[in-house]
């Protein structure tokens, strides 16, 4: 695909994301020759920095680029750093952008970037609309001389209402086709491969429904706690931080109907339909029975003391924010009627892993004796780490009789000859630069996800009979979560 000459203006350029993800992503694109010939990055934020300071911070002295720089020719590093610039917005993002505009125009002329601009919003989310408005006031959103695009970081909204308001607010200044809502899970190769696994193999898709699938399980675990983000996390929680966005994206890809083509709108239309078909939990009993929340408590891992969530910096000592969420739900459509979905996400788990497990129904009639307790076929899609796909199926135990044992057929991405796998942000940035929104969330998609999540959040907030469990760091969450999945086996705890 063609990548037009363009400029990338990053709002919030002194923040962590720019140094940790955006600049390294761009640097990789630069090394791989994917950046357009005429390209400029203009960082903007409230810190007082010169262009040189910015280059030092995000390139020359950046811990995130240290190793890459060592391996790259000096001239290549310099060529990259030389197109990075910085503009101090002063005290406030809510200000007159005329000076910014002047700078953009000067750089456009200097580097001949032809007026195509991506604005990347990596500011606190409360400022997204403010920045969009100020861009519009300075007439920096007009498409007259080159296209304009807006990339919006997560979190997109705090609830259904705030997400709707944000969509409305942004739509006042930018059209939907100009807006790219990032969800970095969509940038992961293995997540994209879900579409390919389902829709390019005749061995899976015919079985991909309520007739053959018993239940679907998705686990997202992280071994870290809230790290230095206690302040942010305490206002968010696992449901907002991971479930509403990343996990529901995975759900939509598992649930969706085949799109009629690989076009962004066709794929996203199907994803929206999938999200809209999730059965919204309305009454308290249903919410009580199907949702579990928990917090990690102070404990010891290998002799090291680990703080409990409520003791973390920036966290309210009486906090009721969940660091673990497990949700059981159904999908109300023809394909999935009656098939339960179990999705959980948590911090401070035994390991970092994300996987989707499709549990197939057992054969209707058993004629052989199984040696283990599991009689079902499983398809395990490992999103990360050890990216790959595992199929579990029955084989005969050698010897007399017909004893059956489960065997594994295991594919690892690392076995592919292709070694250059793009990082999520790298891939997503390149897509936006090329105007491909397939891997970005559309307004209606984000709202549909919130529609499902909102009642759970409200119920949890109400505190009425809402259980909050504790779990020690390094275990697979509260034991009570097993009740949720009861009758459908047990959670598959990867690595156990």
Catalytic residues: 246
For 142, list phi and psi in degrees, rounded to 5.
-75, 145
- The residue with tokens 């690392």 is 414
What residue number has its CB nearest to ligand BG6? 241
Give the contact letters, 143-172, x = binds to ligand BG6 (CB under 6 A), - = no. Answer: -----------x------------------
Cβ-based nearer residue to ligand BG6, 56 or 189: 189
241 binds ligand BG6 (CB under 6 A): yes
Closest of 286, 327, 343, 298 to residue 465, by C-alpha: 286
Among residues 440, 382, 341, 411, the alpha carbon closest in space to that of 194 is found at 382
Residue 427 annotated in ligand binding = no
Residue 189: CB minimum distance to ligand BG6, A: 12
What does residue 276 show for φ and ψ, rounded to 5 degrees? -70, -20
Half-sphere exposure of 343 (CA within 13 A, CB side): 21
Residues in the interface with ligand BG6 (CB under 6 A) total 3
d(CA 323, CA 90): 36
Give least dist CB 181 to ligand BG6, A. Answer: 13
Q: Does 312 bind ligand BG6 (CB under 6 A)?
A: no
- With binding defined as CB under 6 A, does residue 426 bind ligand BG6? no
User: What is the rounded distance in angstroms from the CA atom of residue 350 to the CA atom of residue 474?
Assistant: 4
User: Which pair of structure tokens corresponds to residue 454?
Assistant: 């909102």
Helix (H) or strand (E) holding 196: helix 189-199
Which residue's CB is nearer to ligand BG6, number 154 or number 307?
A: 154
110 is in an annotated binding site: no
- Please, which residue, 222 or 376, has the CB nearer to ligand BG6? 222
CB neighbours (10 Å) of residue 421? 14
Q: Is 461 annotated as a binding residue?
A: no
The runs of H, that is alpha helices, within 215-263 are: 230-236, 238, 248-255
- Tell me the closest approach of the beta carbon of residue 241 to ligand BG6, in angstroms: 5
The answer to whether 352 is a known ligand-binding residue is yes
Judged by beta carbon, residue 312 or residue 376, the one nearer ligand BG6 is 312
Residue 184 annotated as part of some ligand binding site: yes
Residue of 87, 88, 217, 222 that binds ligand BG6 (CB under 6 A): 222
Q: Does 355 bind ligand BG6 (CB under 6 A)?
A: no
In 3D, which of 241, 244, 204 has the Cα closest to residue 380? Answer: 204
Radius of gyration of the chain (CA): 24
Q: Which residue has the tokens 């030389």?
A: 82
Binding residues: 46, 154, 184, 188, 222, 241, 347, 352
Binding residues for substrate: 184, 188, 222, 241, 347, 352
Binding site for ligand BG6 (CB under 6 A): 154, 222, 241
Binding residues for NADP(+): 46, 154
């Amino acid at each position: 695909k063609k990548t037009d000459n363009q400029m990338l203006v990053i709002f919030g350029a002194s923040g962590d994301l720019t140094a940790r993800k955006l600049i390294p992503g761009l640097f990789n694109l630069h090394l791989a020759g994917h950046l357009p010939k005429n390209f400029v990055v203009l960082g903007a934020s409230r810190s007082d920095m010169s262009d040189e300071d910015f280059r030092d911070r995000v390139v020359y002295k950046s811990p995130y680029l240290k190793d890459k720089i060592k391996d790259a020719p000096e001239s290549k590093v310099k060529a990259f750093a030389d197109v990075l610039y910085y503009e101090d917005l002063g005290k406030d993002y809510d200000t007159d952008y005329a000076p910014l505009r002047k700078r953009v125009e000067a750089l456009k002329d200097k580097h001949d970037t032809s007026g195509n601009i991506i604005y990347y919003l990596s500011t606190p989310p409360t400022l997204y609309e403010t920045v969009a408005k100020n861009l519009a006031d300075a007439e920096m959103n007009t498409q007259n001389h080159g296209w304009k695009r807006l990339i919006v970081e997560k979190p997109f909204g705090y609830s259904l209402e705030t997400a709707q308001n944000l969509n409305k607010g942004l739509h006042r200044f930018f059209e939907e086709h100009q807006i790219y809502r990032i969800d970095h899970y969509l940038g992961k190769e293995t997540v994209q491969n879900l579409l390919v696994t389902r829709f390019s193999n005749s061995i899976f898709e015919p079985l991909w429904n309520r007739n053959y699938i018993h239940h679907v399980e998705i686990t997202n675990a992280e071994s870290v706690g809230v790290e230095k983000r206690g302040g942010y996390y305490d206002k968010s929680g696992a449901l907002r931080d991971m479930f509403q966005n990343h996990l529901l994206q995975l759900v939509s890809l598992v649930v969706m109907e085949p799109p009629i083509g690989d076009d962004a709108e066709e794929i996203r239309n199907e994803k929206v339909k999938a999200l809209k078909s999730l059965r919204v939990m309305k009454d308290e009993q249903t919410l009580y029975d199907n949702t579990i929340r928990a917090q990690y408590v102070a404990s010891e891992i290998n002799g090291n003391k680990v703080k409990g969530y409520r003791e973390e910096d920036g966290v309210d000592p009486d906090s009721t924010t969940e660091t673990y969420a497990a949700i059981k739900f159904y999908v109300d459509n023809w394909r999935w009627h009656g098939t339960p979905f179990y999705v959980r996400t948590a911090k401070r788990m035994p390991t970092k892993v994300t996987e989707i497990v499709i549990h197939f129904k057992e054969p209707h009639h058993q004629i052989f004796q199984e040696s283990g307790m599991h009689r079902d076929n499983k398809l395990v899609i490992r999103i990360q780490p050890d990216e790959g796909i595992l199929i579990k199926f029955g084989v005969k135990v050698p010897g007399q009789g017909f004893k059956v044992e489960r065997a594994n057929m295991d594919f690892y991405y690392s076995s592919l000859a292709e070694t250059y796998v793009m990082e999520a942000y790298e891939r997503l940035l390149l897509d936006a630069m090329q105007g491909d929104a397939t891997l970005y969330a559309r307004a209606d998609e984000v709202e549909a996800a919130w529609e499902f999540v909102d009642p759970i959040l409200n119920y949890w907030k109400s505190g009425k009979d809402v259980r909050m469990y504790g779990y020690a760091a390094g275990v697979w969450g509260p034991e009570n979560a097993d009740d949720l999945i009861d009758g459908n086996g047990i959670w598959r705890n990867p690595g156990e």
